[in-house]
C-alpha cells in the first residue's frame, strides 16, 4: 500500500475527523499527500486547517510548508469561473483565508520566488490570467531556469484553451533541459489532445530513452503506435507489429496487474492479417493474452468481468 493509502486507512477508524485523529496522524497524512504529489485538496483542507488552527506552534518550521499546501488547496475550492461574476463579488470564505495565508507567507519570505509563484496562482484562481502570466514572466526573468514558474505558465496556457502555445513553450524548455521526464509527459499529453500523434510518439521515445525500465512508457508508446497503425484490419502492419512488441515487453516488466498490455496484445493479435507465415505465433500470442487476462480476473474475483472478457476475447480472436 502506498504511504498515502496507509495514512488514509489509519485515519478511517476515527471517522476521518481531524480533531479525533490527532496531531501525529494528521501531520503524517499531509506529509504523505505532499510527497506523493497526489491531488487531494479535500483532505488537505480538512486536516491542514485543523493543524494550522490547533497545532500551529507544534509544527515548527514545517508550518510554512503547511501554509503553502493548504493555501493551494484553498485556491482549488475558492476559484470562480470568469463568466460567473463581474469582479465586484464577495470573495468566498476560502479565498479570504487564502489571502490571509498568502500575506503571512509574503511577510515571512519577502523576496522569495516560491512565494511569488503562489501569488501567480492566486491570480489564476481569481481568473485574472494576464496578471498571473505577468507574475510568472517576472519570475522567469529573474530565474530563467525556474521550473515551477514555467510549468505554471504552461498549465495556465492550457487552462486558457491555448494548447498549441503551451506545447511550444514546453518544447522550448525541453530543448534546454532534456531530462525533465514530467515535462515530456505533459508535452506528450498536449500533443495527444491536439491529435498530433507523430509528435506525441517523439515525446514517448524521449521518455523511453530517459528511462527504459518504466513499463508505463512502453505501454503508452505501444498505444500510440497502435492508434497510428489502425486497429481495423488493413492498417499499417509494421506499426501494429512494433506495438505488439512493446506491449509484450511491458508485460515482461510488469507481469501482474498490467491489464492494458494484455488488452493491447489482444487487439494487436486480432488486427494482424491472417494467412501469413507468422500466423501460428500470433494465434499463440493471442491465446496467451486471453489466458493471462482470465487469470487476472480470476485472481481479482471479478466474476462479472470474467464471462464478459471471455466472450469478448473469443469473439475478437476468431
Binders in 248-267 for other proteins, by CB under 8 A: 248-249, 251-252, 255, 257, 259-260, 263-264, 266-267
The residue within the footprint of other proteins, chosen from 164, 209, 273, 276 (CB under 8 A), is: 209
Contact between 7 and 28 (Cβ < 8 Å) = yes
> In angstroms, rounded to a whole number, what is the distance separating the alpha carbons of residues 295 and 276?
29
User: Residue 178 interacts with other proteins (CB under 8 A)?
Assistant: yes
Query: What mask, x for binding other proteins by CB under 8 A, covers residues 38 to 77?
Result: -x--x-----------------------------------
The residue within the footprint of other proteins, chosen from 145, 233, 276, 279 (CB under 8 A), is: 145
Query: What mask, x for binding other proteins by CB under 8 A, covers residues 78 to 107?
Result: ---x-xx-----------------------
> In angstroms, rounded to a whole number, what is the distance separating the alpha carbons of residues 261 and 294?
14
Inter-CA distances, 96 with 52, 87, 106, Å: 16, 15, 15
Q: Smallest gap, in angstroms, from Cβ of residue 177 to other proteins?
A: 6
Q: Smallest gap, in angstroms, from Cβ of residue 14 to other proteins?
A: 16
User: Residue 113 class from Cβ within 10 Å (0-12 exposed, 13-18 middle, 19+ buried)?
Assistant: middle
Four-point Cα dihedral 160, 153, 39, 220, nearest 10: 90
Binders in 8-27 for other proteins, by CB under 8 A: none
Q: DSSP letters of 238-305?
A: HHHHHHHHHHHHHHHH--SS-HHHHHHHHHHHHHSPSSSTTHHHHHHHHHHHHHHHHHHHHHTT-HHH
User: Residue 137 interacts with other proteins (CB under 8 A)?
Assistant: no
The residue within the footprint of other proteins, chosen from 147, 233, 276, 279 (CB under 8 A), is: 147
User: Residue 242 interacts with other proteins (CB under 8 A)?
Assistant: yes
HSE-up (13 A, CA, CB side) for residue 75:
20
For residue 79, what is its C-alpha cell? 476559484
Binders in 284-313 for other proteins, by CB under 8 A: 284-285, 287-288, 291-292, 296-297, 299-302, 304-305, 307-309, 311-312
Of 103 and 291, the one with the shorter C-beta distance to other proteins is 291
Amino acid at each position: 500500500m502506498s504511504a498515502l493509502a496507509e495514512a488514509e486507512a489509519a485515519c478511517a477508524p476515527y471517522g476521518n475527523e481531524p480533531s479525533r485523529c490527532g496531531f501525529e496522524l494528521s501531520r503524517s497524512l499531509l506529509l504523505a499527500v505532499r510527497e506523493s504529489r497526489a491531488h487531494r485538496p479535500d483532505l488537505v483542507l480538512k486536516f491542514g486547517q485543523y493543524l494550522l488552527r490547533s497545532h500551529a506552534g507544534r509544527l515548527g518550521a514545517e508550518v510554512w510548508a503547511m501554509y503553502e499546501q493548504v493555501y493551494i488547496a484553498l485556491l482549488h475550492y475558492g476559484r470562480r469561473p470568469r463568466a460567473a461574476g463581474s469582479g465586484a463579488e464577495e470573495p468566498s470564505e476560502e479565498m479570504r483565508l487564502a489571502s490571509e495565508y498568502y500575506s503571512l507567507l509574503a511577510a515571512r519570505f519577502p523576496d522569495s520566488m516560491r512565494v511569488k509563484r503562489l501569488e501567480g496562482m492566486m491570480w489564476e484562481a481569481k481568473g485574472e490570467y494576464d496578471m498571473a502570466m505577468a507574475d510568472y514572466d517576472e519570475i522567469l526573468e529573474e530565474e530563467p531556469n525556474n521550473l515551477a514558474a514555467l510549468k505554471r505558465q504552461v498549465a495556465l496556457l492550457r487552462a486558457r484553451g491555448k494548447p498549441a502555445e503551451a506545447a511550444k513553450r514546453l518544447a522550448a524548455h525541453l530543448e534546454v533541459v532534456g531530462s525533465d521526464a514530467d515535462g515530456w509527459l505533459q508535452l506528450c499529453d498536449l500533443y495527444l489532445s491536439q491529435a498530433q500523434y507523430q509528435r506525441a510518439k517523439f515525446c514517448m521515445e524521449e521518455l523511453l530513452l530517459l528511462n527504459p525500465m518504466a513499463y508505463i512508457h512502453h505501454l503508452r508508446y505501444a498505444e500510440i503506435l497502435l492508434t497510428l497503425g489502425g486497429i481495423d484490419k488493413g492498417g499499417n502492419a509494421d506499426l501494429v507489429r512494433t506495438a505488439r512488441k512493446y506491449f509484450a515487453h511491458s508485460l515482461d516488466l510488469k507481469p501482474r496487474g498490467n491489464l492494458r498490455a494484455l488488452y493491447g496484445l489482444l487487439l494487436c493479435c486480432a488486427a494482424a492479417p491472417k494467412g501469413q507465415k507468422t500466423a501460428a505465433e500470433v494465434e499463440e500470442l493471442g491465446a496467451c493474452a486471453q489466458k493471462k487476462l482470465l487469470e487476472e480476473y480470476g485472481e481479482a474475483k471479478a466474476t462479472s468481468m470474467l464471462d464478459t472478457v471471455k466472450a469478448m476475447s473469443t469473439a475478437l480472436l476468431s
